Amino acid sequence: MTGFKRTLSLSTTIAIVVGGVIGSGIFMKPALMASQLGSPLLLLSVWIVAGCITLFGALSNAEVAAMFPETGGQYIFFKKMYGEAFAFLYGWAAFAVFNTGGNASIAYVCSQYTNYFIELPRFSVATEHAWLLHIPGVGNIFPLENFGVKLLTIFIILILSAVNYYSVQYGGTLQRILTLLKAIAIVLLIGGILFSGKGSTYNIITSIPNMHHGMALVSAYMAAIAGAFWAYDGWNNITFVAGEVKNPQQNIPKSLFFGLFFCIVIYALINLAYVYVLPIAQLSGSSFVASDAATVTWGIIGGSIIALMVIISTLGTTNANVLATARVTYSMGEDNKWFAWAGKKQNKYDTPGNALLLNAAWAVLLILSGSFDMLTDMLIFVSWFFYGMSALGVFILRKKMKDVERVYKVWGYPIVPLLFVLFVVFFLGETLYTDINNYRNGVTPIINSMLGICITSIGIPIYYFSKKRK
């Protein structure tokens, strides 16, 4: 494998972890989670539990990343654990579903909130619906819908792809700046709300009267955890750029631990701030909980403050994702002749330039189609399947490569990776069961988890056909 220069410092890798994780989820998900749980204490516990589980998975990956600090992250890990075919399947799913779809969706949120300050142009409803693409089992797609927001989203993807195309150092510097601005803004938000004196500690311990009990509460808790997982997703970005990290055996485990620990604390404090100023019933019915909490504290200007925070936060997350996820496509291209163009390094700038262009092109298509909304619905199911397999692979490598020196070993082995794997199995089973029930009851027009499995499975014939001799 052709290597890249190791230019990313510990501060940059921590910025990539924090920047990749804290995006729009913490501003969008708590209201839905509160309506599912009906208890502020349970809401707070979900963010802590989901964070700890994510940390278990991250630390398990850190052991493997320290063993194989190469560009491509989990793609490289899966080749060592399960072979080239499984690694390609992961690379295909990452490209087709959760990497490019995730990049598009986060950038789209950034554009939506830019619309708060600048009214972006859009076509009339008749024109928007004039072009219609119907996909059986998925629904209708309107490429011209909200076109101004889509154009800005495309611009964000292209400009950040260009920055990271010309220099990984430029991309890393931009990431440090955006993450610092994001951290300052969030700390000011938390402090401003908690020390405003405009809330009540009674809100923190008061549940709604008709909250779920028994198995209904278990299902609600798992659904809420899925929302929290979406907000914690992105921690594995650092493994994708492992081949460009200085002193990777030390800095990758440190960046994952300190970066995720910071995210857990921040998420818990933000939710504490929300429930301090908003009773759980009001929080549950909020269309935009962060804005409502800020309005209670600062009045009308609170909406502008939150909109600006979301723009900064999602821009940082988009840059972290664009920088990191292209490395998976690049690594897959090095091994597969159908994607060989993506596996060529841009020697002049020492970046995976072709992979950045390919990811950007696919993300643009997803943005124009609007289908990335559907893709992100199944993102968590597919990505967490691979997270579970990567933690399981720690046991495989401990047996297969027991004589290989490990600079870092996952804390609490075998309990920590085993707990993570067992939880992933339970989580995937519960998600699939709930999806099928919702489909049967007419709640959703499609089983998102099954659709994710189908799109991922398309990678199987692609792999075997691409490996056939001409």
The region, left, alpha or beta by phi > 0 then psi within -120 to 50, assigned to residue 271 is alpha
Residue that has been written with the tokens 């609007």 in this structure: 370
Radius of gyration over every alpha carbon of the chain, rounded to an integer in angstroms: 22
The identity of residue 143, as a single letter, is P
Residues in the chain: 470
Q: Which helix (H) or strand (E) covers residue 379, if one does?
A: helix 372-400
Q: What is the distance between the alpha carbons of residues 234 and 6, in angstroms, rounded to a whole number? A: 21
Q: What is the distance between the alpha carbons of residues 264 and 107, in angstroms, rounded to a whole number? A: 23
Residue that has been written with the tokens 């429930």 in this structure: 275
Q: How many Cβ atoms from other residues are within 10 Å of residue 122's Cβ?
A: 17
* Token output for 318: 């988009």
* E runs forming strands in 169-305: none
Question: According to the model, what pLDDT value does residue 447 have?
Answer: 72
Q: What is the distance between the alpha carbons of residues 108 and 79, in angstroms, rounded to a whole number? A: 33
Q: What is the distance between the alpha carbons of residues 18 and 319, in angstroms, rounded to a whole number? A: 12
Domain 10-467 coded CATH 1.20.1740.10: yes
* Token output for 294: 């800020």
Q: What percent of the chain has pLDDT over 90?
A: 34
Determine the 3-state secondary structure of 241 from DSSP.
Answer: strand
> 91-118, pLDDT tens digit by residue?
999 998 888 888 888 898 889 888 878 8
Question: According to the model, what pLDDT value does residue 470 have?
Answer: 44
Question: According to the model, what pLDDT value does residue 375 have?
Answer: 65
Using alpha carbons, select from 19, 424, 336 the residue that is nearest to residue 182: 19
Cα 304 off chain centre by: 25
- Please, where are the H alpha helices in 278-342? 280-284, 289-298, 301-335
Using alpha carbons, select from 103, 23, 87, 43 the residue that is nearest to residue 376: 103
**Helices then strands, each counted (H, E), the chain:** 22, 2
The identity of residue 335, as a single letter, is D
Give the pairing of strands 133-135 and 139-141.
Answer: antiparallel
* Token output for 386: 């691979």
Q: What is the distance between the alpha carbons of residues 236 and 229, in angstroms, rounded to a whole number? A: 13
* Token output for 267: 């998420």
Task: With a cut of 50, list the residues of the chain below it in pLDDT.
Answer: 1, 470
pTM: 0.85
Using alpha carbons, select from 383, 345, 319, 350 the residue that is nearest to residue 74: 383
> 15-49, pLDDT tens digit by residue?
999 988 988 788 878 888 898 898 999 999 999 99
Residue that has been written with the tokens 């009214």 in this structure: 119
User: What residue segments make up the domains of the chain, in order of their start?
Assistant: 10-467
Intra-chain end-to-end CA distance of the chain, in Å: 24
Report DSSP state, residue 134.
Answer: E
Q: What is the distance between the alpha carbons of residues 265 and 277, in angstroms, rounded to a whole number? A: 19
* Token output for 412: 């609490």
Residue that has been written with the tokens 């052991």 in this structure: 63
8 A C-beta contact, residue 423 and residue 430: no
Q: What is the distance between the alpha carbons of residues 275 and 385, in angstroms, rounded to a whole number? A: 32
